[in-house]
Amino acid sequence: MSQGICCSVDHRCNPSHIWSPAARTAGIPPRIGLHCLRHFFATLLIHKGASVKTVQLTLGHSSPMDTLNTYVGEWPEAHEKTRALVDSALGRVPRMCPPGSSRR
């Protein structure tokens, strides 16, 4: 086999011989593997305010687009964030139509 190609014998590519006993000892349910922990780590970063670029670099994605395609639903809604930014800069802006009025 050529060097650098993963195989089941190469423990550098398959850390399950370390993960499985450690997970059992820690009480982590079966079928929760390193890939699940990677997703947990990424969503933790996002929910704590990390940018797309930060998450991309941390996870080793080749582009921010890869990160967005995977985790786009985890970032706060853009319109809510935009509204909060404008409100903090200008103060609360009154609604154009008073409450209770309707357009017909």
CA angle 16/61/77 to nearest 5° reads 110
Q: pTM score, two decimals?
A: 0.57
Report the candidate in 45, 78, 52, 48 with the shortest Cα–Cα distance to residue 67. Answer: 52
| Position 63 confidence tier, pLDDT thresholds 50, 70, 90 | very high
Whether 54 is in a domain gets the answer yes
Whether 78 is in a domain gets the answer yes
Report the candidate in 32, 36, 5, 10 with the shortest Cα–Cα distance to residue 20. Answer: 32
Q: At residue 4, does pLDDT exceed 60?
A: no
Whether 13 is in a domain gets the answer no
Q: Mention every residue, 6+ apart, whose C-beta is less than 8 A from residue 16.
A: 33
How confident is the prediction for the chain on average, in pLDDT?
Answer: 79
Whether 51 is in a domain gets the answer yes
| Position 85 confidence tier, pLDDT thresholds 50, 70, 90 | confident
The tokens of 35 are what? Answer: 């890939």
Kindly tell me the sign of the dihedral angle through the C-alpha atoms of 31, 32, 38, 42.
Answer: positive
How many helices, marked H, and strands, marked E, lie in the chain?
A: 5, 0
User: Count of domains in the chain?
Assistant: 1
Domain interval for residue 51: 33-89
